[in-house]
Homo-oligomer: A and B are copies of this chain.
């Protein structure tokens, strides 16, 4: 029995803890101590440390009881002394709440028990003291209801049938008594009813759970303490931790605090507030309150909460009295507290308070959650207010929150008043309004006439592409987050809601039916793609990207950022979008993109001819035919990126990917190519691979068929040469994929050097800038980076493939077991989303060290999808890479992650 401190008291400036002891006291306990030290009115109490929780799981209930007993008793005495009341005392009883509190907030995931210490004896004392029997009986029946559920059933590990839990059974009794009295609301029950209910509850608890409700206050207290510990491993809490990445061994603290009551009459109240507006970031005290109510009533949504002050009244609550006018002296006290807290914590805070008979009590304070828009504004405002410095301001915004600022949004004020038509999955963020159209064709036509339209479809397919492009937003009744509509919309950064299963679409009648009405072609609706909500009518939108706060914030980001940020872009359009978001070059231009989608039919057909070729002569003929398309394609993007580096990857996928799979398309192709279907099938069969990811692709094609590399290199260099002639400054970088050793690079580099001389001669140029480099995406290439760097002027880490090979996880197939691996905690995260520093990261580190050993000034980048993921960007910064490359819409996010990594260093 080690003699360490496990219980920390607070109240009347007596706090033994402080805000910096969150690990030990949990967020709630630490902040209560801090507020107490600041001299704010905090009901006295004590916090049992998270270490005790760990001991609870290691040693068991009985042993922990022995360890904690004395300290808890001392804690109780401390409260009793401050309040001059006594726990379990028949005349002047003290009641306490028992609450959980982990290092980080896990809202609603663990248990709370109120009114502990109430029994038939103490209630009489309390009735005398408060002169409010109804309140006391109600408190008692609430205690029984909570306690029997949380302590006697959940913590005891009893798993009742669905709907047969003790809580439901007691609620049924409450309903019964209401029916008997013929009333609808709980508040209509009087003291006698509630007194009767207490007895009914106790009998029911004994009947259902087989043991009596404990009347002994100390037994109640200990039961509650252990139940909170037990709730740390409740199902909800465990699954929440898994999602949020919270370690299981942190444990929860338990705070035992004297009860204060906001429901003791009209001079009592309860409320929650943010020190600034968490949705807009505006520097306005913002909150809600309810007179004669308990904390849960404010959030439960049974009564509409009142506005905290006059300035922040909304359409919903403008008719209701504010605290500012109802209790001006209390409101003034609260404003002072707000200022004290912001000055002390130097951040926006989320607070809970209770007013008991005109006495203000602070029950909670913590750093408040905020959306991205608010986060950016608050950071900049506080910087202006000199509350924080630039580095702190940078760290105040989570990189992913910037995503919210990159799309038009529905105005939250207009949203709060609007009528919701339907709910769906938030597939493409942002907000938009427009007239309903039910076909892609209509979308294109209406848009051409200048109408803003929303394309509404059962589901979309590739033929809808043009309509989707023309529409302001897309709504589908079916499909999930990876459906066609979702994928396309996200790629474009377009507002989109999919799988809105509560609407029914009638294409013939051009009608959309929802629970709240029928909407026809031309009717205006609005979509919130960030939340998945469909509204009736036109809501106003705001364009946060033009927000001066965003622009100012990105300037701050660029000031501290070391890592460069490029984009993965295959078209001039993508390149332009990325430039608008501040991209500093293209890190990955995939030549093969040009064969997909619109405009790709002709080159794809020629490519297929090339693939079907039986010999080099035929292949060269097809390549010659393909050449002008490839050159044009590359030139267009080089032109947009004038003066910035553009990394062009030579053909990467295995050739068979370009051969159509279905019979009909094959027959058409065979006919077009003037060969028999058998020949085509034979060739396709020859090209078939069991594991194409590790097959004949990338540089391997360029080794087998050097003429394929040659054509591409010529296209790149001629495109650049033509631009030079046009007075531009193209900076192409030729990148060879799927490499494993220096000989491949030497072989390909010889082709490049030869073509380079030819192009210089043809265009009569003395020189033409280009770089030659390679992907590092295969473990061997990473390990042999020293030899790769002999020829490569740059490396670009292809972390998608590197992850596939390091884990032997086929990205196409991992779905069959990835969820099992996450559920069973075999892996902590999806390595395709976040770089696994322990393996892929180690290979990258090796490659960086060895590459630099050969070529100290080698350029190092990353073009896998990790390039836009904040933790991975941080890792790239730590590795000393030159740049990351990500999709256009993630450029600002990557920039912020890079700046934060630099600041944290």
Q: Within the complex, which residue of B693, B838, B842 is in contact with A694, where a contact is CB–CB below 8 Å?
A: B693
Flag if A810 contacts B741 (CB, 8 Å). no
Q: What is the CB-to-nearest-CB distance from A677 to chain B, in angstroms, rounded to a whole number?
A: 20
Flag if A690 contacts B741 (CB, 8 Å). no
A253 CB-CB contact with B under 8 Å: no
Flag if B821 contacts A691 (CB, 8 Å). no
Of A545-553, A642-650, A757-765, A778-786, which binds chain B?
A: A778-786
Flag if A695 contacts B810 (CB, 8 Å). yes
Q: What is the CB-to-nearest-CB distance from A838 to chain B, in angstroms, rounded to a whole number?
A: 6
A743 CB-CB contact with B under 8 Å: yes
Q: Within the complex, which residue of B744, B747, B808, B836 is in contact with A805, where a contact is CB–CB below 8 Å?
A: B808
Of A44-52, A443-451, A726-734, A811-819, which binds chain B?
A: A811-819
A157 CB-CB contact with B under 8 Å: no
Within 8 Å CB of A843, what residues of B? Answer: 779, 783
Flag if B741 contacts A827 (CB, 8 Å). yes
A696 CB-CB contact with B under 8 Å: yes
Within 8 A of B (CB), among A794-839: 801, 804-810, 812-814, 816-817, 820-821, 824-827, 836, 838-839
**8 closest residue pairs by CB, A with B:** A691-B810, A694-B810, A690-B812, A780-B839, A695-B813, A689-B813, A696-B816, A778-B808
The CA-CA distance from A276 to B812 in the complex, in Å, is 62
Query: Contacts A780-B806, A810-B695: A826 and B690 contacting too (C-beta < 8 A)?
Result: no
Can you list 18 A-B pairs with a CB-CB distance of less than 8 A? A689-B813, A690-B810, A690-B813, A691-B810, A691-B813, A694-B807, A694-B809, A694-B810, A694-B813, A695-B814, A703-B821, A704-B816, A704-B817, A741-B827, A743-B825, A779-B839, A779-B843, A783-B842
A738 CB-CB contact with B under 8 Å: yes
A102 CB-CB contact with B under 8 Å: no
The CA-CA distance from A816 to B689 in the complex, in Å, is 9
Q: Within the complex, which residue of B690, B783, B808, B826 is in contact with A738, where a contact is CB–CB below 8 Å?
A: B808
Within 8 A of B (CB), among A569-617: none
Q: What is the CB-to-nearest-CB distance from A702 to chain B, in angstroms, rounded to a whole number?
A: 10
Q: Within the complex, which residue of B703, B777, B810 is in contact with A689, where a contact is CB–CB below 8 Å?
A: B810
A700 CB-CB contact with B under 8 Å: yes
A503 CB-CB contact with B under 8 Å: no
In the complex, residue of chain B having the shortest beta-carbon distance to the beta carbon of A825: B743
A740 CB-CB contact with B under 8 Å: yes
A692 CB-CB contact with B under 8 Å: yes
Within 8 Å CB of A820, what residues of B? Answer: 700, 703-704
Given contacts A704-B820, A783-B806, A784-B838, 9 further A-B contacts (CB under 8 A): A692-B810, A694-B813, A778-B807, A779-B779, A779-B843, A780-B807, A780-B838, A783-B839, A805-B806
Flag if B778 contacts A700 (CB, 8 Å). no
The CA-CA distance from A741 to B843 in the complex, in Å, is 16
Q: How many residues of A contact B (CB 8 A)?
A: 47
Within 8 Å CB of A806, what residues of B? Answer: 778-780, 783, 805
Within 8 Å CB of A821, what residues of B? Answer: 700, 703
Flag if B689 contacts A812 (CB, 8 Å). yes
Within 8 Å CB of A777, what residues of B? Answer: 808
Q: What is the CB-to-nearest-CB distance from A245 to chain B, in angstroms, rounded to a whole number?
A: 15
Within 8 A of B (CB), among A18-61: none
Within 8 Å CB of A801, what residues of B? Answer: 808
The copy count of this chain in the complex is: 2
Q: Within the complex, which residue of B690, B779, B826 is in contact with A747, where a contact is CB–CB below 8 Å?
A: B826
Within 8 Å CB of A747, what residues of B? Answer: 824, 826
In the complex, residue of chain B having the shortest beta-carbon distance to the beta carbon of A803: B780
Within 8 Å CB of A744, what residues of B? Answer: 826
Query: Contacts A738-B808, A783-B838: A813 and B703 contacting too (C-beta < 8 A)?
Result: no
The CA-CA distance from A817 to B838 in the complex, in Å, is 32
Q: Within the complex, which residue of B690, B741, B780, B836 is in contact with A693, where a contact is CB–CB below 8 Å?
A: B690
The CA-CA distance from A9 to B784 in the complex, in Å, is 45
In the complex, residue of chain B having the shortest beta-carbon distance to the beta carbon of A746: B826
The CA-CA distance from A75 to B691 in the complex, in Å, is 62
Q: What is the CB-to-nearest-CB distance from A791 to chain B, in angstroms, rounded to a whole number?
A: 13
In this complex, the member of A694, A741, A744, A806 whose beta carbon has the largest number of chain B beta carbons within 10 angstroms is: A694
Within 8 Å CB of A692, what residues of B? Answer: 690-691, 810, 813
Within 8 Å CB of A826, what residues of B? Answer: 703, 741, 743-744, 747
The CA-CA distance from A779 to B844 in the complex, in Å, is 13
In the complex, residue of chain B having the shortest beta-carbon distance to the beta carbon of A696: B816
The CA-CA distance from A334 to B836 in the complex, in Å, is 72
The CA-CA distance from A692 to B812 in the complex, in Å, is 10
Hey, what's the 0/1 contact readout for A676-704 against B, CB within 8 Å counting as 1?
Answer: 00000000000001111111100010011
Within 8 Å CB of A839, what residues of B? Answer: 740, 779-780, 783-784
Within 8 Å CB of A740, what residues of B? Answer: 807-808, 839
The CA-CA distance from A838 to B786 in the complex, in Å, is 12
Hey, what's the 0/1 contact readout for A401-422 against B, CB within 8 Å counting as 1?
Answer: 0000000000000000000000
Q: Within the complex, which residue of B693, B807, B838 is in contact with A808, where a contact is CB–CB below 8 Å?
A: B693
In the complex, residue of chain B having the shortest beta-carbon distance to the beta carbon of A842: B783
In this complex, the member of A689, A805, A813, A843 whose beta carbon has the largest number of chain B beta carbons within 10 angstroms is: A813
The CA-CA distance from A740 to B818 in the complex, in Å, is 13
Query: Contacts A689-B812, A691-B693: A824 and B778 contacting too (C-beta < 8 A)?
Result: no
Q: What is the CB-to-nearest-CB distance from A60 to chain B, in angstroms, rounded to a whole number?
A: 22
Within 8 A of B (CB), among A88-137: none
Within 8 Å CB of A700, what residues of B? Answer: 817, 820-821
Within 8 Å CB of A838, what residues of B? Answer: 780, 783-784
The CA-CA distance from A808 to B694 in the complex, in Å, is 5
Within 8 Å CB of A694, what residues of B? Answer: 691, 693, 804-805, 807-810, 813
Q: Within the complex, which residue of B696, B784, B817 is in contact with A696, where a contact is CB–CB below 8 Å?
A: B817
Q: What is the CB-to-nearest-CB distance from A259 to chain B, in angstroms, rounded to a whole number?
A: 44
The CA-CA distance from A842 to B704 in the complex, in Å, is 28
Q: What is the CB-to-nearest-CB distance from A355 to chain B, in angstroms, rounded to a whole number?
A: 51
Flag if A816 contacts B778 (CB, 8 Å). no
In this complex, the member of A738, A744, A780, A804 whose beta carbon has the largest number of chain B beta carbons within 10 angstroms is: A780
Q: What is the CB-to-nearest-CB distance from A781 to chain B, in angstroms, rounded to a whole number?
A: 9
In the complex, residue of chain B having the shortest beta-carbon distance to the beta carbon of A812: B690
Hey, what's the 0/1 contact readout for A737-752 against B, CB within 8 Å counting as 1?
Answer: 0101101100100000
In the complex, residue of chain B having the shortest beta-carbon distance to the beta carbon of A819: B704
Q: What is the CB-to-nearest-CB distance from A759 to chain B, in angstroms, rounded to a whole number?
A: 24
Q: What is the CB-to-nearest-CB distance from A786 to chain B, in angstroms, rounded to a whole number?
A: 10
The CA-CA distance from A807 to B781 in the complex, in Å, is 8
Q: What is the CB-to-nearest-CB distance from A847 to chain B, in angstroms, rounded to a whole number?
A: 12
The CA-CA distance from A820 to B838 in the complex, in Å, is 35
In the complex, residue of chain B having the shortest beta-carbon distance to the beta carbon of A839: B780
Q: What is the CB-to-nearest-CB distance from A792 to chain B, in angstroms, rounded to a whole number?
A: 15
The CA-CA distance from A838 to B813 in the complex, in Å, is 30
The CA-CA distance from A295 to B600 in the complex, in Å, is 68
Query: Contacts A741-B827, A805-B805, A817-B696: A691 and B812 contacting too (C-beta < 8 A)?
Result: yes
Query: Contacts A779-B839, A801-B808, A843-B783: A813 and B741 contacting too (C-beta < 8 A)?
Result: no
Q: What is the CB-to-nearest-CB distance from A582 to chain B, in angstroms, rounded to a whole number?
A: 34
Q: What is the CB-to-nearest-CB distance from A885 to chain B, in angstroms, rounded to a whole number?
A: 21
The CA-CA distance from A696 to B816 in the complex, in Å, is 7
The CA-CA distance from A547 to B809 in the complex, in Å, is 50
Within 8 A of B (CB), among A534-583: none
Q: What is the CB-to-nearest-CB distance from A826 to chain B, in angstroms, rounded to a whole number?
A: 4
Within 8 Å CB of A805, what residues of B? Answer: 694, 779, 805-806, 808
In the complex, residue of chain B having the shortest beta-carbon distance to the beta carbon of A778: B808
Within 8 A of B (CB), among A693-718: 693-696, 700, 703-704
Within 8 Å CB of A696, what residues of B? Answer: 813, 816-817
The CA-CA distance from A826 to B804 in the complex, in Å, is 24
Q: What is the CB-to-nearest-CB distance from A844 to chain B, in angstroms, rounded to a whole number?
A: 12
The CA-CA distance from A119 to B843 in the complex, in Å, is 68
